[in-house]
Copies of this chain bind each other. A is one copy, B any other.
Amino acid sequence: MDGNFVIRGDIFFTPEKNKCEMHPDSYLVVKDSRIVCVEKNLSKKYSSLEKHDCSGKLVIPALSDLHVHASQFAFRGLWMDEELLEWLNSHTFPEEEKFADISYARKAYEIFTRQLVRSPSAHACIFATIHKDSTLLLCRMLEEAGLPCYVGKVNMDRNSTPGLSEKTEDSIRETEEYINEVLSSFSLVKPVVTPRFIPSCSDELCRALGELAVKYDLPVQSHLSENLSEVDWVKELCPDSTSYAASYKERGLWGRTKTVMAHCVHSLSREEELLKDENLFIAHCPDSNTNLVSGIMPARYFLDNGYNIGLGSDIAGGVSISLFDAITDAVRVSKLYHRHVDERFAPLTFKEAFFIASKLGGSFFSKTGSFESGYDADILVLDDSSLETPLEGLTVAERVERYVYLNPKGAPEHKICQGKWLF
């Protein structure tokens, strides 16, 4: 029965950044869609719960994708020889224009939703496009799929292609309509205020969006200090702001409600003090930052200094919808940062990156990403037996590392979101 069950398997999670718990051949107990405990021998008091025998399989927390563009899934893996601003104007904006057509949006979002369901992510913080109707369609698909997501209708009233621009007052009005419609229609899917980034949003629009976030107590998502040419452009657009982050803050879009800023590649020594706010989350998107020649975000610094960070797939700057790839890419780029940029910053370990992708990033959404008592039952069951090897005697943590690095392209064996078995 959804919400109340026991899973037997090889259990792994990371309750702290430097610590993993391994429970080979143990029981994960779930009641009322929340984790109760992990037990080596199942107590009698849980004997009435439905048992799922996943012996020999890995049982790990589902992950949280803090930054993904659903509307860009169609063209992931294409046009990867360009930097951010060129890539936005030549390809991304023209592609997003197509979502004015609801039938195109249906095709595209069906594919995205199907792939997100099959991914390791239970939660995602999603950019759609400026188009209200197709964004509502995406919300409906995600709700029906059982995925607890934040979905944003994007706002853009300047510096865009003609087909992807809103009038300021339309943008504000349609956003409020969108918010009300999502709040009244859906329970798993929730709205998030989504100014694309400072270059796309006038001061008036920014201020109005900040007010909407406060009025409805909604989170805000946007982009920050991704690419050097973008940072320079924001300086031109906001000559009175002391930093890119400050330009958001001064326009009322910073930390008044929960806020997630994607990238922050170039935030160190520019604006990091503003990011240290309990309402602020950094979405670290290592593959996208590499593909768009943005650079390496110093995750070690933010992790060790107590900032809130999570991982983002950032489709289609990033290629893979799987946060497993984001975990290993975060480790990879942290190694190159250590080697080539600043050797004082040690590489992330696999366990640290897993912690960021699960519990730390997940805290943007809820108590998710861990198997401590009271956490949401967001669970993956993985079958690593198809990853052939003659090796024997691997620990549960080693098997998880191997699975995540090799990342077979199929879906997990089972995926459970907030106590509900998606498959």
Contact = CB atoms under 8 A, between A and B. Distances in A.
Given A108-B390, A111-B388, A349-B81, A76 B405 contact: yes
Contacts of A336: 290, 295-296, 333, 336, 340
17 contacts: A76-B402, A76-B405, A77-B406, A79-B398, A79-B401, A80-B401, A81-B350, A107-B390, A111-B388, A111-B390, A115-B388, A291-B332, A293-B347, A319-B328, A319-B406, A333-B336, A337-B340
Contacts of A80: 328, 331, 350, 401, 405
Contacts of A391: 74-75, 78
Given A108-B390, A293-B335, A390-B108, A77 B340 contact: no
A420 to B, nearest CB: 25
Contact of A296 (B331, B340, B394): B340
Contacts of A305: none
A408 interface: yes
A41 interface: no
A119 interface: no
A294 B77 contact: no
Contact of A335 (B76, B79, B291, B319): B291
A111 B389 contact: yes
Contacts of A75: 389, 391
A319 B293 CA distance: 23
A319 B329 CA distance: 12
Contacts of A294: 339
Interface string A57-87: 0000000000000000111111111000000
Interface in A363-422: 388-391, 394, 398, 401-406, 408-409
A394 B76 CA distance: 13
A102 interface: no
Interface string A283-305: 00001001101111000000000
A207 interface: no
